[in-house]
Every structure is written in C-alpha cells, then in structure tokens.
C-alpha cells in the first residue's frame, strides 16, 4: 500500500471546494485579483500548474464554490474598469476633443 505525503493531501484538502474564477496572465495580476477579492471578504487562493495540453503554466485564481458568482461579478467589473481606462490612454480616444483649437 502506497502512502501519500501529508503535504500533498494538506494542500488538496485546503483547495477542496475551490473553483477557478479566472486565469491570470502573470503572478502580479493574480495578486491584484487576490487583493480585490479579499477586500470583498472572499477567500481566495492562487495556484500555478503546468498544463501539458497548451505547453505552458497557468495561474488560476480560485475561490470557494459558494462565492463564485460574487467573485465573477467583482472580477468582471474590474476588467471592464481596466479596459475603459486602457482605451482612454489610447491616442485615438477623444484626441480631437481635447485639442487647443476648440
């Protein structure tokens, strides 16, 4: 009979019931999502694993299943906010309006 390591079973039991709310492009982005979710009192865990099917590492931001809907709303709101300000930084966005000729 093969024994499982205590460390492996401890981390698996910690994440039991956790589901992926989003994937981060890098660890810094994952930490931003973690801070955002924790500020809303949502438990969060970051897990990185190598996915052989895509040949790269993935960084998953995970929350308990019962917090998934709320976490999705928070993450999507933040993504929309970031996209709006990324667009505002674009040179083409409203550039004519702010010219001194007006």
The predicted-structure confidence for 19-65, as pLDDT tens digits, reads as follows 999 999 899 999 999 999 999 999 999 999 887 887 888 899 999 99
Q: What is the CATH number of the domain that holds 23?
A: 3.30.70
Angle at 35 between CA 80 and CA 49, to 5 degrees: 90
Please indicate, yes or no, if residue 35 is contained in any of the structural domains.
Answer: yes
Model pLDDT, residue 14: 66
Range of the domain at 31: 18-89
- At 30, list the tokens: 């994952």
pLDDT average, residue stretch 67-76: 93
Please indicate, yes or no, if residue 22 is contained in any of the structural domains.
Answer: yes
Question: Domain total for the chain?
Answer: 1
Sequence-distant (≥ 6) Cβ neighbours of residue 94 within 8 angstroms: 88
pTM here?
Answer: 0.64
pLDDT bin (cut points 50, 70, 90) of residue 9 is very low
* CA–CA distance, 72 with 63 (Å, rounded to integer): 10
């Amino acid at each position: 009979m093969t024994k499982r390591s205590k460390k492996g079973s401890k981390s698996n039991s910690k994440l039991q019931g956790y589901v992926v709310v989003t994937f981060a492009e890098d660890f810094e982005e994952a930490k931003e999502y973690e801070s955002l979710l924790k500020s809303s009192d949502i438990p969060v865990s970051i897990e990185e694993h190598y996915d052989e099917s895509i040949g790269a590492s993935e960084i998953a931001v995970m929350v308990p299943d019962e917090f998934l809907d709320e976490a999705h709303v928070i993450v999507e709101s933040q993504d929309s906010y970031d996209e709006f300000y990324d667009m505002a930084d674009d040179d083409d966005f409203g550039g004519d309006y702010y010219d001194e000729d007006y």
